[in-house]
Amino acid sequence: MMQWETVIGLEVHVQLATRSKIFSGASTAFGAEPNSQACAVDLGLPGVLPVLNESAVAMAVQFGLGIDAEIPEVSIFDRKNYFYPDLPKGYQTSQMYHPIVGPGEVEITLDDGETKRIRVHHAHLEEDAGKSLHEDFHGMTGVDLNRAGTPLLEIVSEPDMRSAKEAAAYLKAIHSIVTYLGISDGNMAEGSMRCDVNVSVRPKGQEAFGTRAEIKNVNSFRFVERAIAFEVERQVELLEDGGKVVQETRLYDPDADETRSMRTKEEANDYRYFPCPDLLPVVLDDAYVDHLRTSLPELPAEKRARFQGELGLSAYDAGVLSATRAMADFFEGVKDVCGDAKLAANWVQGEFAGRLNKEGLEIASSPVSATQLGELVARVKDETINGKAAKQVFAALWDGEGDSADAIIEARGLKQVTDTGAIEAMIDQVIADSPVQIAQYRDAEPDKRGKMIGYFVGQVMKASRGTANPQQVNGLLKEKLDALC
């Protein structure tokens, strides 16, 4: 029985979060009226010329630095020539031979905790095309060029991945890096991050690669895994039946969970790449690159290590809390205010994440700020309130009942009662009010009494409207009850 090895390479297109287009001053804002953000340059009108956006360059270089890549001193823009309605100039300005980012690598962590280094072949800048809308305009297609000219960073990996899981992990790592750097919102559903997957199989032990198929525009981590799974099975079956894998472009259909050939009647396109004569060589000197290097934010791997090392979090917690920049920043915000990393970690991963998930919100839309949560956790830490009250306060904060934990604690009178005298007084009252239960307690076997304390504790908590410190109540209650026996 033949053993097959899967070989995967990924090409990830990341839309860079610049304000304006890569070659023009039109806005890149999402959701505008069709063609209202397509200026003369984007439309490819006669006589227009491109001018390069410095932010796109900076973001590309930052990505390169983030994956320890070479940043060549000179990079060149080339024209990729082909005809399509969403490509107004009849060519896409890209970088074929001298990309802005050279070879680098990304570390991925697999489920079992093992790490692997995936090599990145290069990353280059290019302009995005517009959009074609096929809803009927009486049999025509409508073209919206708002997106034309949005800067893309295309990140090309080496075919180093050997399983769907590795591919998904790599994609997540890329997503993490670009969101961390703030160079993209990485929203796959909205198309700001797109993935083309190259899959081939070969008999285990064979050095030569098999023929690969390219699955275009897979737009979620899960779909990447599913598409690869289907494709590998398809190719293996084909080869085991004596067939050959055709080098072709395929599409993944998530509803049918299968990949299908994109039936185009043309032979492979000859893009006739040549250096764009309207753009000059981009030269980046050491000073520029060094400046970007010093202003790089801490990247996911470093953060994870610091959370574990300095802050003492578990590997699991460190991983969850450093998964996205938003999460890491939020967590650190909470920790900075309350001064306790572990408590902060519990609260952020627990109550906070839970509520976010329940309402399907992103951290950015959270009604509770890191400071507010931090203040709440601080009150738990200093025992101003007990755990149960804290949950109430959190809910109240979320629902907008008050501006701060302290305000709500005050308004609802949730301050934990720790005064021994006060608690004793409450206990005495409860005892006085519960003659039947006291009698039962006294009459019970000593080893059965433990279970009956719950009733009294409950009564004391009720009397204190949940604010009595439970540990103190338990301790004092036990003392007093025992004294009665």
Partner 1 sequence: MHDMTLTELARALEAGEFTSRQLTESLLARVERLDGDLNSFISVTAEQALAAADAADAARGRGEAGPLTGLPLALKDIFCTQDVRTSCGSKMLDNFVAPYDAHVVEKLKTAGTVSLGKTNMDEFAMGSSNENSYYGPVKNPWDLSAVPGGSSGGSAAAVAAGLVPAALGTDTGGSIRQPAAFCGITGLKPTYGRVSRYGMVAYASSLDQAGPMARTAEDCALLLSAIAGHDLRDSTSVARGVPDYRAELGASLSGLKIGLPKEYFGDGLDPAVESAIREAVKVYESLGATVQEVSLPHTHHAIPAYYVIAPAEASSNLSRYDGVRFGHRCDAPKDLEDLYKRSRAEGFGDEVKRRILIGTHTLSEGFFDAYYKKAQQVRRLIRQDFMDAFEQVDVLMGPSTPTPAFDLGANKDPVSMYLQDIYTIAINLAGIPGISVPAGAVNGRPVGLQILGPHFAESQLLNVAHQFQQVTDWHQQRPAFGKENA
Partner 2 sequence: MALEPQDVQRAAHLARLGLDETDADRYVDDLTRILEMADQLQAVDTDGVAPLAHPLDATQRLRADEVTETDQRERFQRNAPAVENGLYLVPRVVE
Per CB under 8 A, contacts with partner 2 among 145-174 are 145
Q: Which is nearer to partner 2, 34 or 191 (CB)?
A: 34
Tracing tokens 């000219």 back to the chain, one arrives at: 149
Q: Does 47 help bind partner 2 (rule: CB under 8 A)?
A: no
Q: Does 246 help bind partner 2 (rule: CB under 8 A)?
A: no
Distance in angstroms (rounded) separating the CA atoms of residues 17 and 262: 31
One of 156, 238, 279, 343 touching partner 2 (CB under 8 A): 279
One of 29, 36, 40, 482 touching partner 1 (CB under 8 A): 40
For residue 8, list its beta bridge partners. 161, 199
CB of 291 to partner 1, least distance (A): 22
How many residues interact with partner 1 (rule CB under 8 A)?
28
CB of 145 to partner 1, least distance (A): 8
Distance in angstroms (rounded) separating the CA atoms of residues 470 and 468: 6
Q: Does 260 help bind partner 2 (rule: CB under 8 A)?
A: no
Q: Which is nearer to partner 1, 115 or 264 (CB)?
A: 264
Quote the tokens at residue 105: 């690598």
Q: Does 95 help bind partner 2 (rule: CB under 8 A)?
A: no
One of 19, 29, 36, 51 touching partner 1 (CB under 8 A): 51
CB of 264 to partner 1, least distance (A): 12
Distance in angstroms (rounded) separating the CA atoms of residues 157 and 208: 18
From the list 4-12, 82-90, 206-214, 457-465, the region that binds partner 1 by CB under 8 A is 82-90
User: Which letter, b or e, does each residue of 90-110 get, where b requires 16 or more Cβ atoms within 10 Å of its Cβ?
Assistant: ebbbbbbebbbbbebebebbe
Q: Are 69 and 103 in contact (CB under 8 A)?
A: yes
Q: Is 329 exposed, middle or buried (0-12, 13-18, 19+ CB in 10 A)?
A: middle
Q: Which is nearer to partner 1, 90 or 182 (CB)?
A: 90
Q: Does 74 help bind partner 1 (rule: CB under 8 A)?
A: no
**Helix axis angle, 405-412 to 370-381, nearest 10°:** 60
One of 74, 262, 280, 305 touching partner 1 (CB under 8 A): 280
CB of 141 to partner 1, least distance (A): 8
Backbone angles phi, psi at 341, to 5 degrees: -60, -45
Per CB under 8 A, contacts with partner 1 among 150-189 are none
Distance in angstroms (rounded) separating the CA atoms of residues 196 and 10: 6
For residue 132, list its beta bridge partners. 143
What SS3 state is found at 152?
strand
CB of 45 to partner 1, least distance (A): 7
Q: Which is nearer to partner 1, 91 or 456 (CB)?
A: 91
Q: Are 171 and 195 in contact (CB under 8 A)?
A: yes
Provide the phi-psi class of 206: left if phi over 0, else alpha when psi is between -120 and 50, else beta: beta
What SS3 state is found at 460?
helix
Q: Is residue 41 within a helix (H) or strand (E), and if so which, with residue range?
A: helix 40-43
Q: Which is nearer to partner 1, 82 or 316 (CB)?
A: 82
Q: Does 407 help bind partner 1 (rule: CB under 8 A)?
A: no
One of 3, 83, 112, 287 touching partner 1 (CB under 8 A): 83
Q: Which is nearer to partner 2, 43 or 353 (CB)?
A: 43
Q: Comparing C-alpha atoms, which of 23, 155, 25, 140 is closest to residue 91?
A: 23
Distance in angstroms (rounded) separating the CA atoms of residues 317 and 450: 36
Quote the tokens at residue 69: 């890549």
Distance in angstroms (rounded) separating the CA atoms of residues 24 and 53: 8
One of 134, 204, 358, 451 touching partner 2 (CB under 8 A): 134
Going by the DSSP 8-state scheme, the letter that residue 261 receives in this structure is E
One of 31, 47, 400, 446 touching partner 1 (CB under 8 A): 47
Q: Does 270 help bind partner 1 (rule: CB under 8 A)?
A: yes
From the list 46-54, 256-264, 348-356, 448-456, the region that binds partner 1 by CB under 8 A is 46-54
One of 7, 12, 14, 26 touching partner 2 (CB under 8 A): 26
- Name the residues that contact partner 1, by CB under 8 A: 40, 43-52, 79, 81, 83, 85, 88-91, 143, 145, 270, 272, 274, 277-280
- Name the residues that contact partner 2, by CB under 8 A: 18-20, 24-27, 33-40, 43, 45, 51-57, 81, 83, 85, 132-134, 137, 139-145, 262, 270, 272, 275, 277, 279-283
